[in-house]
Amino acid sequence: MIELRQIHKAFNAGRENEFRALNGIDLQLPAQRVTAFRGPSGSGKTTLLSIIGCLARPTSGRVRLHGRDISGLPERFLTDIRRRTFGFVFQQFNLISGLSATENVMLPAYPLGGERRALQARAEDLLAGLRLAHRRTTQVELLSGGEQQRVAIARALINEPPVIIADEPTANLDTALAMEFMAIIEQLADARRTVLLSSHDPLLVDSSLVDRVIDMRDGRIVAAAAAAGAGG
Amino acid sequence: MNVWIEKQKYLIDFTLASLARRKAKNLGLLLVYALIVFLLASVMLFTHALRQAANELLAGAPEVVLQRMVAGRHDLIPPGYLERIGRLRGVQEKQGRLWGYYYDPVVKANYTFMVADDRALAPGTLVVGAGLARTRGVAPGNLISFRAYSGKLFTFSIADILPAKSELVSADLVLLSEADFRAFFDIPPGHFTDITLRVANPLEVRNVAGKLAQQFPDSRPILREEILRTYDSIFSWREGVVLALATLALLAFAILAWEKASGLSADERREIGILKAIGWETGDVLRMKFWEGALLSLSAFLLGYLAAYVHVFHFAASLLAPVLKGWAVLYPRFELSPVIDGLQVTTLFFFTVFPYAAATLVPIWRVAITDPDAVMRG
């Protein structure tokens, strides 16, 4: 369970060009559900996901994870929480070019120092599960957009985090690849993982796999409702 | 412990991949860095080896040399001094020396003429230093002429060339018989240029020098250790000048490295942001960058030092010799014995690797402590 209380986020705070990205967000996100944040560009979806995923700190407000306030934790502890709790799929995939698909997938596990053979086997299993076994040694910049996204998903899963955060995951994909991505999300939901998505793609947000849709505008939540197709 | 080692191996793996990805830039940096180490190491190795060579050559020199001074200038020692010195306690051996300088207008060089005390030379023959032989193009058996200060022309036959091993101090040397020397410089019998003394007990050298100064107030005793110190100072001074210039180059390089690191490319900043976002700690990023800097600077250090070693000991420091040897016309050619001093290597390592590491790590640390979201957004 993730709980947000009065979250504010301002960029360039106190300066002439101050921009308030989030204005007092109160929200509870239950575990093992697929939640989608919907809204136009600049509505604050990405910033909110960054704060939930400990990639950024709120200017003010509290973030609780399983009842524990994590807003004021030192960077080192926050990194540990981020590594163990969240897996990220970024809009631009953010893979490290020059490295192979397998190496990219293994990267989040490097700081844990696990046994290499086991780690490599797990990375290759994940790639195989996402139908990328034949591309595991290919450098990521040579992969198609859909393939790169699947590598990013495998990377998000390598440390087996309970929460997957995907920012505009279908923005760079055509319809067929978007459908493929949704199938993967469905598998994750079936595996009882918490999935948080930001998107304004109706194909994704209005789909049956989304349990809850939260509408955002100008850094505020304007509506939060169970999705049409939500079973529970 | 295993986890820690495994983690370092992962970080080094990533570092190697990272270096390979920016091949051209890193190779350029490596070459500039190695060039600076090469310059500094060449100067240090060369001057150290020169000092060592001078020490070895002067090891057999007399402990004390006595010179007579008139009106603050070096003058001839008159008859009688040698006998009086022989009566001093502690003096094991004494010898009057004859030497002087001669300017050769043919090659515009100064030679040192000296009476050989360890070899008998027939009148009309010379033994010359390798530098002089090279410059005048003479070989044993050839004739060579010098016009004395009296205007009279003297012609000598070259009996031998001094060995190249001693060229550091004998490049411009001309050895001749006592009779020829006195005739050439017009020095009357019984007079000497200076007197050399051997002292049996090394602890007594300063006492003997004190007695000489007391008994011969118009003279000055020069100790072997003072000559060695003078050589040392000369080489240190020249080394200092070159090192100062090289340090400026090092400073410029450190500024370049700082600029490069503080102006991290968008790609590099983004990469650090991604690594932080997927779970790397600031410490992991810094460790990775530390390995990157360590690999680069160690490779540059080894490459530069090795090149300097080959340059100094196999090519006689051909790029630096004119500055550091200091001979005006007759540059001595000699082979230096390879000498590596641990303290010198450590000093060089500290002054080349440490500034680079500091110059690159600090700006990276500043990026690494920023929220990953902010870094990735640019």
Instruction: Name the residue in chain A with its Cα closest to that of B372.
Output: A55
Q: What is the pTM of this model?
A: 0.67
- How many Cα atoms sit within 13 Å of B131 on the Cβ side? 23
Mutate to test the interface with B, among A79, A116, A140 (most CBs of B within 10 A): A79
Say if residue B68 is in the same domain as residue B208. Answer: yes
Say if residue B347 is in the same domain as residue B240. Answer: yes
Say if residue B235 is in the same domain as residue B218. Answer: no
- Tokens standing for B135? 């410059």
Say if residue B215 is in the same domain as residue B264. Answer: no
Chain B residues in contact with A79 by the CB 8 A cut-off are 276, 279-282
Burial class (CB in 10 A: 0-12, 13-18, 19+), A103: buried
Check: complex ipTM more than 0.95: no
The reply to whether residue A110 touches residue B371, judged by beta carbons under 8 angstroms, is no
CATH number of the domain at B210, please.
2.40.40.20
Say if residue B172 is in the same domain as residue B234. Answer: no
pLDDT in tens, chain B (378 residues): 678 888 888 988 898 888 888 888 888 888 888 888 888 888 888 878 877 777 777 777 788 888 998 888 889 999 888 888 888 888 888 889 999 999 988 888 888 899 987 778 889 999 998 888 888 899 999 999 999 988 999 999 999 998 876 666 678 889 999 999 999 999 999 999 999 888 888 788 888 888 888 888 898 888 888 877 777 676 666 666 666 666 766 766 766 666 565 556 778 888 889 999 999 988 888 888 888 888 888 898 999 999 999 998 888 777 877 666 554 444 455 556 777 888 888 888 887 787 777 777 777 888 888 888 887 776
| Chain A, window 160-179: residues with a beta carbon less than 8 angstroms from a chain B beta carbon | none
Closest partner residue to A55 among B280, B369, B373, by Cβ?
B373
Interacting residues of B362 by C-beta distance below 8 A, sequence separation 6+: B258, B261
Residue where one domain finishes, among candidates B177, B195, B224: B224
3-state per-residue secondary structure call for B181-223: HHHHHCCCCCCECEEEEEECCHHHHHHHHHHHHHHCCCEEEEE
Say if residue B219 is in the same domain as residue B285. Answer: no
| SS3 call for A192 | coil
Separation of alpha carbons A151 and A154, rounded Å: 5
Mutate to test the interface with B, among A7, A12, A55 (most CBs of B within 10 A): A55
Structural domain span for residue B349: 2-58+229-376
Say if residue B177 is in the same domain as residue B123. Answer: yes
Distance from CA of A96 to the nearest CA of B (A): 7
Number of domains in chain B: 2
Residue where one domain finishes, among candidates B167, B196, B224: B224
- How many Cα atoms sit within 13 Å of A13 on the Cβ side? 8
Say if residue B46 is in the same domain as residue B184. Answer: no
Chain A residues in contact with B376 by the CB 8 A cut-off are 55, 90, 94
Q: Number of A:B CB contacts under 8 A?
A: 80
Say if residue B215 is in the same domain as residue B109. Answer: yes
Say if residue B37 is in the same domain as residue B165. Answer: no
Say if residue B24 is in the same domain as residue B72. Answer: no
Residue where one domain finishes, among candidates B173, B190, B224: B224
Say if residue B158 is in the same domain as residue B71. Answer: yes
